[in-house]
Structure 1
Amino acid sequence: MTVRHIVLVKFKPELSEEEIAPLWEELNAIEGKVDGLGAICAGRSESPEKIERGYMHGFTVDFRDWEALAAYQEHPDHRALGAKLVANAQGGIDGILVFDLEIAAQPQGA
């Protein structure tokens, strides 16, 4: 079982990609600091559907289980990054969506 933590951010329109990039660097720096934290992927939407509704940036983090996600949420580096995301999101916390999805293990050979 894996828990996929999905975060979508509607950044303030005046923020450039160059100002957003350090936030993703800070996110990636958390890798290896929380037991059970797996893959991290972050960036700007490239969706051909173009229905992001202003949520043009986001990231996913995979966790071994719910306990690992809880440890990440309490980690000081996550809390610091979260505060920066809220400060840079349009409308503060209202400019951020979080969705956590439990993913069943894939059968061998699937």
Structure 2
Amino acid sequence: MEEAKGVVKHLLLAKFKDGTTPEKIEQLIKGYAGLVDQIEPMKAFHWGTDVSIENLHQGFTHVFESTFETREGIAQYVAHPVHVEFANVFLAHLDKVLVIDYTPTIVPH
């Protein structure tokens, strides 16, 4: 097995606070997606909601995945003023959050 070259994934699992309207969640997701156009090290953004049948989500309802070329790119993203401003607003609407950064490993088959 080998690490995928030049790719680091930044995963954020979230549960929005009770009372956060679907419209507000949509607005926050659009704001998150817009970061990819404003912060150079962020190369891609994907998101979705939990659809698992295993019921192991521990209350998390949304997953957000950002792609970077390096760990240093994640550090630049985290410190970027646009991200800091957005994160202050976004995190204020979350009841639970979990963030994991990882380098994908390619499994030969």
Scaled by the length of structure 1, the TM-score of the pair is: 0.82
Distance (Å, rounded) in 1 between the aligned partners of 2:55 and 2:21: 19
Matched, 1:37 2:42: yes
Q: Is the 8 A contact 1:31 1:37 kept in 2?
A: yes
Aligned to 2:103: 102
Distance (Å, rounded) in 2 between the aligned partners of 1:99 and 1:51: 17
Q: Is the 8 A contact 2:39 2:82 kept in 1?
A: no
* Runs of at least 5 residues in structure 2 that lack an aligned partner in the other structure: none
* Greater share of residues in strand: 2
Matched, 1:80 2:81: no
> Superposed, which structure 2 residues align to 1:59-74 within 5 Å?
59-74=64-79
Aligned to 2:58: 53
Q: Could you report, residue by residue, the CA deviation over 1:19-53 in whole angstroms, capped at 9, with x for unpaired residues?
A: 10111111111113223322201232122222211
Deviation, 1:66, is: 0.9
Q: 1:13 aligns with which of 3, 15, 18?
A: 18
**Percentage identity across paired residues of the two chains:** 26
Q: Give RMSD over aligned pairs.
A: 2.0
Q: Is the 8 A contact 1:24 1:43 kept in 2?
A: no
Distance (Å, rounded) in 2 between the aligned partners of 1:57 and 1:48: 15
Q: Could you report, residue by residue, the CA deviation over 1:32-89 in whole angstroms, capped at 9, with x for unpaired residues?
A: 3223322201232122222211110120101000111111111122112211222111
Matched positions, count: 104
